[in-house]
Structure 1
């Protein structure tokens, strides 16, 4: 996870030379350690630092903080994927209902998950994400364990509601947390890793399921109950570790499992805070609890084990075979998103991901029913390994909303849209369409094709806005330009000086 670099200077610092190796002089020390209410200032407007110093700060974050964030999302997606693994082990039949009840449960889950994504962001502001993340993890770990107590349809639907409530807020809280440590030019790549690890978690979950489901009958429990018990126990254990590890901010890295010494020197703390605010002036409104911002949530593929099982592999092989496409997805997604960050282009990269998925759905739909299991599996791999472009969605939204308030509202919309789709997506694969799901695959072709077009349309819409702003700004007189410049921070992306990322 090499750190990505951008100018360590802001418009406010245009009189200094970026990248110049500058000694830490007494005058600069006095400026940088100016106090606010008796405490050293963390954001220093005229702080001078080199690209190498900034890279050292990012490297510490990437080594000492980010891997732990990846662990939280790994556990989350492992728990979310175990539902589809459990279904492949005949959970519906064991509880006395059909796949249609599972679809209903998925729809209910999607609504509750989406709603509680909003509450998760709000609670992160109140409690602090470093505390709210482990609290939520502990709660959904307990609910995951509770799956082993399900006896009937009512119990199943009740537990699915509570798992959605407890899981719904963790990704918004986590992404708000990351927004306080990383610049916008660094965040998309980290989000690529974030969702890449989710894909890896899905792969590991499939491999775990292929073993744990074979415990069916042990202690009188179905295999899928053993799967929930093990996953729930792991989640509870990790949540306790996170409580004692996650720092509140860059100035609170000493103590607990973090170690006896702080991660950063006082100067590095100032660099860490200043560079983020220089990148986005609206983050002046972040309190040191880092509880405001930005980016939101995604859902996972709930149907892959079921689809692969329909190719007539046994349940254990079906779950093991889900691993390769998830691993491929993680690798391909990270490559695509890192390239997007490098060239600072979003629209075509997002369209590429959607087009990849479109090709996969077409392959599955076009295959004759008599195709071999290997050929069908290849089609499923193409679909599932598409470069997931939700991190690009989040990064694009963040870059193109110019104020914390508006970005928070937009983030809520992204969270909601990324999960509410489960209401209708859960109805795509119906029992009367099994086992080849021709109708369902046709619906997915339409969705993927439409999404591919939308990425390109959005890109050219932003280009249009940039050209319009340039024309209108050029038509202003000098006094009007000064007024527009002075209002840039307040207007955000409505300012004529704002440049959209395309």
Structure 2
């Protein structure tokens, strides 16, 4: 049996299939060994390059693709668990923290409209809540249209160049909202802000994937979206003070809000020029002349990622995707179930979140108290986001864990729909809204789920943008559920949200069944094949990525 290939994993590229094969005769039977310092040393059992033939094959792939880190590729490199933990901690400080800081700028400029309308912005501009819905719809449509083109530009010139360009550009437009005086100007400003910021999130996810293993990414992404709630807490407190500037220089408070927060994002954009790096081997700047890593740490950073997913080296970080490759990724129907989940999963919370300040104003609270009353649900959101993401990774389960979302929302929305005391008990309504907005957030789970089930770097680059586009389409639905003729408590709208939440249950169960069924069918075919047939399949098949018989979907 020594010469029978043992399959550890598989990934595909735009140009060719890469069979990842390890001969069992080369695989160590021990899990680890103890060094002289009594530290645990990682051996090569999970190293796909332990077979010299496989290592040479990938070395040629990395050379042909001009992979930027190919000089650090070392199939024989060993390191301790403690060394790897130290490297990951450094990555968290350098990469993950930087990503969160830059996400602050995005969330400030796309999320401060809700605070602005609490300061009578609509009244000052002679706009209705339906105009507000239209502005949100325009923003989301433009954001969607920009997603995929932005991701393709990023793959072409590199995230480290594209993200600073985006941030500086949209911050200037966001600041200019301080000068709008008409409905048309309002709509145009929202459209331009969306066009310039669209694609930021999938581009940032792509950048983070350069540094982290697949199993590490979901938790880091949960930190990414935790930033959203932290920003909302911070900006709610900040808005409490900024909106009090109403009357200074004859300006309304919301004008100062747009100007000051847009300026803040501009400086983050300037900082991102120096905060982002092209890759692990390109971290030296005038701020960090010695780079992020020591030579040994650099070897660990590069090789740990390649051993987890060898396909991460089959393209240069400034290599554009081919048109045919993009089309193949768009037509990948096996990812559509997750896209549909993204389409409806966040509609109830998005709808209520965009209207929370208006609802609280309708219940009689002042502008300043309204912004403070939005803080509790953001704290709750952080707890449930980190909790459900961690639970999903520990259980290695996505569909069933995500069922916690509709099971959480349905009783709360049902009570809000049919409770007759909404207007006479504003604190009760506020509490229900906060519990709904604090529902477990599965965005980090779904983003990593799409990445895992893509099966190739080509598809992964496109699928993250498509998934985010589906989320934004859901946001368009969310922006138009509450209507002015349903004010002030939006009973009809809440009934719609109830049934949307209910629809998520069969969708999640159906997704679980679909991926399990696909895996079972492939397993049956694979088990009927002889070792020689499997070897021949791996070397001769034209199947790519997640269409290969030896690929298994995460459920």
**Equivalent-residue separation in structure 2 for 1:452 and 1:322 (angstroms):** 28
49-58 or 450-459: which moved more? Answer: 49-58
> CA–CA distance in 1 between the matches of 2:531 and 2:69?
41
Are residues 485 and 458 of structure 1, via their aligned partners in 2, closer, same or farther at CA, if it must alter by over 3 Å? Answer: same
The answer for the alignment partner of 1:20 in structure 2 is 33
Q: What do residues 91-122 of structure 1 show as CA deviations (whole Å, max 9, x unaligned)?
A: 11111221111111111111100111112211
Q: Is the contact between residue 147 and residue 469 of structure 2 (CA under 8 Å) also seen in structure 1?
A: yes
Alignment of 1:99-498 (within 5 A): 99-257=129-287, 259-288=288-317, 301-368=353-420, 369-486=422-539, 491-498=544-551
Aligned equivalents of 1:177 and 1:19: distance in 2?
A: 31
Deviation at 1:86, TM superposition (A): 0.8
Give the drift of 1:307: 2.5
TM-score using structure 2 length: 0.82
Distance in 1, Cα, partners of 2:496 & 2:517: 32
Query: For residues 386-440 of structure 1, what are the alpha-carbon distances to aligned partners after superposition, in whole Å with 9 as ceiling and x for unaligned?
Result: 1111111111111112112222332232121011223322111111000010011
Distance in 1, matches of 2:31 and 2:79, equals 8
Post-superposition shift, 1:40?
7.0
Residues 1:248 and 1:409: Cα distance change in structure 2 (over 3 Å): closer
- Distance across 2 between alignment mates of 1:266 and 1:286: 23
TM-score normalised per structure 1: 0.90
CA contact (8 A) 1:114 1:420 kept: yes
Q: Partners of 1:40 and 1:216 in 2: how far apart?
A: 57
Residue 134 of structure 1 contacts residue 243 of structure 1 at CA under 8 Å; is this kept in 2?
Answer: yes
Mapped partners of 1:251, 1:315: distance in 2? 50
Contact 1:309–1:315 (Cα < 8 Å) also in 2: yes
Q: Distance in 2 between matches of 1:83 and 1:401?
A: 35
Which shows bigger deviation, 424-433 or 406-415?
Answer: 406-415
Q: Distance in 2 between matches of 1:343 and 1:282?
A: 26
For residues 277 and 190 of structure 1, what CA distance do their matches in structure 2 show?
Answer: 19
8 Å contact 1:249–1:290 — kept in the other structure? no
Shift of 1:234: 0.6
CA distance in 2, matches of 1:291, 1:87: 41
SS at match of 1:185: coil
Are the equivalent residues in 2 in contact too, given 1:136–1:167 (CA < 8 A)? yes
Match of 1:3 in 2: none
Q: Is the 8 A contact 1:128 1:291 kept in 2?
A: no
TM-superposed deviation, 1:18 = 4.8
Shift of 1:219: 0.7
Q: Distance in 2 between matches of 1:489 and 1:394?
A: 27
Q: Is the 8 A contact 1:140 1:167 kept in 2?
A: yes
Unaligned stretches of 5+ residues in structure 1: 1-6
Change in 2 beyond 3 A, CA 1:39/1:312: closer
Equivalent residues of 1:351, 1:453 under 8 A apart: no
Q: CA deviation at 1:289?
A: 5.2
Render the CA deviation track for 1:296-335: whole Å, top value 9, x for unaligned.
9998642222232232211111111111101210121012
Work out whether 1:83 is the aligned partner of 2:113.
Answer: yes
- Helix, strand or coil for the counterpart of 1:445? helix
Q: Structure 2: how far apart are the matches of 1:155 and 1:162? A: 11
**Alpha-carbon distance change, 357 to 193 in structure 1, aligned in 2, over 3 angstroms:** farther
Query: Aligned equivalents of 2:471 and 2:307: distance in 1?
Result: 30
Counterpart CA distance in 1 for 2:219 and 2:252 is: 40
Q: Structure 2: how far apart are the matches of 1:494 and 1:40? A: 28
> In 1, distance between residues paired with 2:221 and 2:319?
18
What corresponds to 2:75 in structure 1?
45
In 2, distance between residues paired with 1:449 and 1:327? Answer: 25
SS for the counterpart of 1:302 is helix
